[in-house]
Chains A and B, each alone.
Chain A
């Protein structure tokens, strides 16, 4: 171990020609990843109604256009509501599921685990038309609550993965100690276990929220004429490209960056590297 650590240090200091190639290649890949995010910033401040680059002048008119248009604001508020409800529902269901799967030893436990993970594998388009067919018969199309149900199906696996991982490493002796001091099982879980796995819960809620807030296909089928923000953006891109969507994009990027910073401070496991 000692030896490998030493040699690792030595390997790093020696710069070889192919290292330069590697760094240039990776620089280009990072540019490729960031470029579509960066370009929306100048366009959103453009004074022109056309996609002109560089913009002929600067203005805030597309931000005003977004705020003044009730259709955009309605879609945004609807998306926030759907995402919030999805977060609550999927965190409750997914956390209970994680407790059951991690601690239980009953028959069929692994099958339950696999069924819960299926939404990650089954293509969204297949699920969307399936649930669209069922909800159309039940006359639920157009309700924002219907979208919440569809999004929760897809958020449960995220919660299960993150909370499950935290529960596996959690030392149950803490909970036992609380119970030997007189706490009931539920109180012990609520006051001792849940606070200890809070970073994982925060990350799970973040994933559930973003996955719902960004989701288009399920919302497109279930929403009917009640558009969510992604549906409104989709229609806007397809019909007429008007830089209002650039302003919306910038606001979204800023929001995601902000939330990502908060989660990286208090969450755990949201990035596969943490």
Chain B
């Protein structure tokens, strides 16, 4: 992907357009997009629009008032944002060194590392969640190991609580942190580090004043991506939270399936959508360039 993007930048921008000149070709090309556009309009924009409309049905803002002032629901919103923040920090702490490892380690190791990231990345979230249940349960592998080595005397609760949700979500979202940081690190000119070293800077200073600032765009992209995905998460909190950890997506599902309260579910969706788009737009402002997950 990155290599392709670099090559793309070197090709003069009008090469692709030179072939079909004039308005006739452009009309034709616009028509080629039409099927997908009709599809996305009917099956994407329309349903989402209809849903949002339901949140203000009858001209009343009562569902929003409920979502944003009732202590119970404000608590869910707050917990969701807090969990998303914890997951973002955890992914950064785990992912940044790994991204560096992938750029700097000698020959076979980067490839092996990438396999170790891609394999879980492409494995179903349900499989991974099930794996975590085997590991984290009261009689799970981790508790058994800790008990047998005498490190703890009673099983440490890691399932059906926030700890389990945090572990599961960090596992799912870690690759989304590693990829953007790795993409930026690969472009950092290591000569700059040698220059800083040659000028007498100690190792820690080189990292803090030269390397980290150079990789900051990747860090911000990764944190934003993980945060956006975290606040809308459903499967992991639903399974590893054991009904005790209510994030906003779980609340929305409950409102629709159990209480059939569409106007409230729609208002919650609008709140979640707004939060997501706000974070995304802030990111877009920070980096004008193409922001793709890869």
- For chain A, the bracket of interface size reads 35 or more
Known contacts A7-B191, A32-B94, A33-B120; is-contact A132 B256 (Cβ 8 Å): yes
A272 surroundings in chain B (CB, below 8 A):
1-2, 179, 182-183, 293-294
Q: Which B residue sits closest to A94, measured CB to CB?
A: B36
B114 surroundings in chain A (CB, below 8 A):
271, 273
Flag if A120 contacts B131 (CB, 8 Å).
no
Tell me, in angstroms, the Cα distance from A252 to B5 when the chains sit together: 32
Flag if A129 contacts B277 (CB, 8 Å).
no
Listed stretches B25-33, B64-72, B150-158, B209-217; interface member: B25-33
A34 surroundings in chain B (CB, below 8 A):
116, 119-120
Known contacts A100-B29, A129-B265; is-contact A165 B122 (Cβ 8 Å): no
**Among the interface residues B33, B95, B269, which one has the most CB atoms of the partner chain A within 10 A?**
B33
The verdict on A202 contacting chain B, using a C-beta distance below 8 Å, is: no
A100 surroundings in chain B (CB, below 8 A):
29-30, 32-33
Known contacts A18-B203, A33-B117; is-contact A125 B47 (Cβ 8 Å): no
Flag if A269 contacts B131 (CB, 8 Å).
no
The verdict on B124 contacting chain A, using a C-beta distance below 8 Å, is: yes
The verdict on B62 contacting chain A, using a C-beta distance below 8 Å, is: no
Min C-beta distance of A229 to chain B, whole Å:
8
Flag if A36 contacts B124 (CB, 8 Å).
no
The verdict on A256 contacting chain B, using a C-beta distance below 8 Å, is: yes
Min C-beta distance of B49 to chain A, whole Å:
8
Flag if B16 contacts A168 (CB, 8 Å).
yes
The verdict on A51 contacting chain B, using a C-beta distance below 8 Å, is: yes
The verdict on A58 contacting chain B, using a C-beta distance below 8 Å, is: no
The verdict on B205 contacting chain A, using a C-beta distance below 8 Å, is: no
Min C-beta distance of B33 to chain A, whole Å:
4
The verdict on B253 contacting chain A, using a C-beta distance below 8 Å, is: yes
Number of A-B contacts (CB under 8 A): 291
The verdict on B282 contacting chain A, using a C-beta distance below 8 Å, is: no
A169 surroundings in chain B (CB, below 8 A):
4, 7-8, 11
Tell me, in angstroms, the Cα distance from A23 to B109 when the chains sit together: 10
Interface positions of B from 100 to 145, Cβ below 8 Å from A? 100-102, 104-106, 113-114, 116-120, 122-135, 137, 139-141, 144
Which residues does B use to contact A, with CB under 8 Å?
Answer: 1-5, 7-8, 11, 15-20, 26-27, 29-30, 32-33, 35-37, 39-40, 43-48, 50-51, 54, 94-95, 97-98, 100-102, 104-106, 113-114, 116-120, 122-135, 137, 139-141, 144, 171, 174, 179, 182-183, 189-191, 193-194, 203, 228, 231-232, 234-235, 239, 249, 252-253, 256, 262, 265, 269, 272-273, 276-277, 280, 292-294
Min C-beta distance of A240 to chain B, whole Å:
12
Q: CB within 8 A of B48: which of A94, A122, A161, A252?
A: A122
Q: Which A residue sits closest to B106, measured CB to CB?
A: A12
Tell me, in angstroms, the Cα distance from A274 to B105 when the chains sit together: 17
Known contacts A233-B126, A260-B122; is-contact A11 B193 (Cβ 8 Å): yes
19 A–B pairs (Cβ distance < 8 Å), ordered by A: A3-B191, A29-B98, A53-B140, A93-B36, A93-B39, A99-B29, A100-B33, A106-B26, A115-B37, A129-B256, A130-B50, A130-B51, A172-B19, A210-B122, A217-B234, A249-B124, A256-B122, A257-B119, A274-B3
Min C-beta distance of B224 to chain A, whole Å:
11
The verdict on A133 contacting chain B, using a C-beta distance below 8 Å, is: yes
The verdict on A126 contacting chain B, using a C-beta distance below 8 Å, is: yes
Which residues does A use to contact B, with CB under 8 Å?
Answer: 3-4, 7-8, 11-12, 16, 18, 22-23, 25-26, 29-30, 32-40, 43, 51, 53, 93-94, 96-97, 99-106, 108-109, 112, 115-116, 118-127, 129-134, 149-150, 152-153, 156, 161, 165-172, 175-176, 210, 213-214, 216-217, 230, 233-234, 237-238, 241, 245-246, 248-249, 252-253, 256-257, 260, 268-269, 271-274
Q: Is the interface of A mostly helix, strand, loop or mixed?
A: helix
**Among the interface residues B101, B128, B130, B131, which one has the most CB atoms of the partner chain A within 10 A?**
B130
Flag if B1 contacts A39 (CB, 8 Å).
no
Known contacts A12-B106, A29-B94; is-contact A167 B16 (Cβ 8 Å): yes
Flag if B101 contacts A238 (CB, 8 Å).
no
Flag if A130 contacts B48 (CB, 8 Å).
yes
Flag if A22 contacts B97 (CB, 8 Å).
yes
Flag if B16 contacts A4 (CB, 8 Å).
no
Flag if A30 contacts B127 (CB, 8 Å).
no
Min C-beta distance of B249 to chain A, whole Å:
4
Tell me, in angstroms, the Cα distance from A123 to B105 when the chains sit together: 36
Flag if A121 contacts B277 (CB, 8 Å).
yes
User: 16 more A-B contacts (CB under 8 A) besides A51-B140, A172-B19, A252-B127?
Assistant: A22-B97, A36-B131, A51-B137, A103-B19, A103-B29, A104-B30, A104-B33, A116-B40, A127-B44, A150-B43, A152-B43, A171-B15, A210-B122, A213-B124, A237-B126, A253-B123
Min C-beta distance of A263 to chain B, whole Å:
10
Flag if A51 contacts B249 (CB, 8 Å).
no
Q: Which B residue sits closest to A108, measured CB to CB?
A: B30
Q: Which B residue sits closest to A123, measured CB to CB?
A: B232
Tell me, in angstroms, the Cα distance from A12 to B122 when the chains sit together: 32
Flag if A126 contacts B273 (CB, 8 Å).
yes
B94 surroundings in chain A (CB, below 8 A):
29, 32
